[in-house]
Amino acid sequence: MPMPLASRKHCARANQQGSAVAEFVMVSALLVAVFMGILQLTLALHVRNTLMDAAAAGARYGTLADRGPGDGVRRTQDLIRGALSDRFASNVHATPIDIGGTPGVRITVRAGIPLFGMVPFMGEFVVQGESVRYG
């Protein structure tokens, strides 16, 4: 004998009790993972852009008439330390270059890609800034 309609609806509701909590937990975990991924990407891009700006500013500083490549390295390290952390300023090098027949300087910065905060962890950024000598 088939079950009455009212009884079937009651059974269906009873089988789904507690499913809202499970769905909330699964959706929340997914949203938190997506949010953390976006946050991590934003932090990595911020660090990369800061390193690029510091390298370019250091190269410009190192090509001033009364300055040298070593001054550009120190300026780059100071800018990185001021904006990020000492860990990101440990591997900065200057190379004298020739740009279109004009002497210049290339500042190269190597720093670890931050993962979970400001701790350099996996891979590395390699950014460069170049400038020609003025004066």
Give the pLDDT confidence score for residue 61 in this predicted structure.
96
Give the pLDDT confidence score for residue 15 in this predicted structure.
65
DSSP 8-class letter at 111: E
pLDDT digits (tens, 9 = 90+) for 33-56: 899 889 988 988 999 999 999 999
**Does residue 118 surpass a pLDDT of 80?**
no
**DSSP states along 113-135:** EE-SSS-EEEEEEEEEEEEEPP-
Q: State mean pLDDT over 68-91.
A: 95
Burial of 125 (0-12, 13-18, 19+ CB in 10 A): middle
- Prediction pTM value: 0.79
pLDDT band at 13 (very low <50, low <70, confident <90, very high): low
Give the pLDDT confidence score for residue 22 in this predicted structure.
85
CB contact at 8 A, 68 and 104: no
